[in-house]
């Protein structure tokens, strides 16, 4: 991860759901708020066992990135005085169901083990694949932005 870029004086504050944007005290506050949200989510919003978020959620990088966004999304429809019923309906019919469907994937490699209290770290093979992907991305070769920009996909706007 890279260090947060300080905002210009005129720019809006960075999103409060991105860990790298936060000071240590703000990150600790967000961590505590997300933990409470996870407990409430498990009690009230998870409708199936596979939707439960286990205590080891902090050990799953994908989940640690998504949970603050889910928390702020929930806040936006339940604590924002400008929220509308339509905003809440969209959250409950679009965003929450989509999140529920992804929880098991976000708990890879062993969601069932995590839910039973037997958290497993990524296998050595998975770590090698991730490392290779990072190496490949870093060694992508010459700048090909012009080629990428010239790539046509789908119907052309030109006759």
User: With helix as H, strand as E and coil as C, how does 85-121 read?
Assistant: HHHHHHHHHHHHHHHHHHHHHHCCCCHHHHHCCCCCC
Report if residue 73 sits inside a domain: yes
CA distance 135 to 137: 5
Q: What is the pLDDT of residue 20?
A: 87
Q: Is 66 domain-assigned?
A: yes
Whether 14 is covered by a domain: the verdict is: no
Please indicate, yes or no, whether the overall pTM of this predicted structure exceeds 0.85: no
pLDDT of residue 1: 46
Contact yes or no for 108/60 (Cβ under 8 A): yes
Q: How many domains does the chain fold into?
A: 1
Which of 95, 43, 88 shows the shortest CA–CA distance to 69?
Answer: 95
pLDDT score recorded for residue 117 = 85
Q: Which residue, chain included where needed, has tokens 């409708």?
A: 47
Enclosing domain of residue 77:
19-148
Chunked mean pLDDT (size 10), the chain, 159 residues: 56 83 89 94 95 91 93 96 97 97 90 85 64 59 56 59
Q: Please report the pLDDT score of residue 142 as a whole number.
A: 53
- Give dist(CA 88, CA 94) in Å, integer: 10
């Amino acid at each position: 991860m890279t260090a947060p870029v300080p905002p210009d004086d005129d720019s809006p504050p960075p999103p409060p759901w991105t860990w790298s944007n936060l000071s240590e005290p703000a990150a600790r506050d967000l961590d505590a708020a997300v933990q409470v949200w996870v407990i409430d989510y498990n009690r009230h919003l998870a409708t199936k066992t596979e939707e439960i978020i286990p205590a080891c959620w902090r050990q799953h990088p994908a989940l640690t990135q998504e949970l603050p966004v889910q928390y702020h999304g929930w806040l936006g429809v339940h604590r924002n005085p400008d929220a509308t019923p339509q905003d809440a309906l969209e959250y409950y019919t679009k965003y929450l169901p989509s999140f529920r469907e992804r929880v098991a994937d976000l708990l890879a490699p062993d969601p069932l083990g995590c839910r039973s209290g037997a958290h497993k770290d990524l296998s050595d093979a998975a770590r090698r694949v991730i490392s290779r992907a990072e190496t490949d991305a870093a060694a992508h070769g010459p700048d090909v932005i012009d080629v990428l920009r010239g790539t046509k996909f789908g119907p052309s706007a030109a006759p």
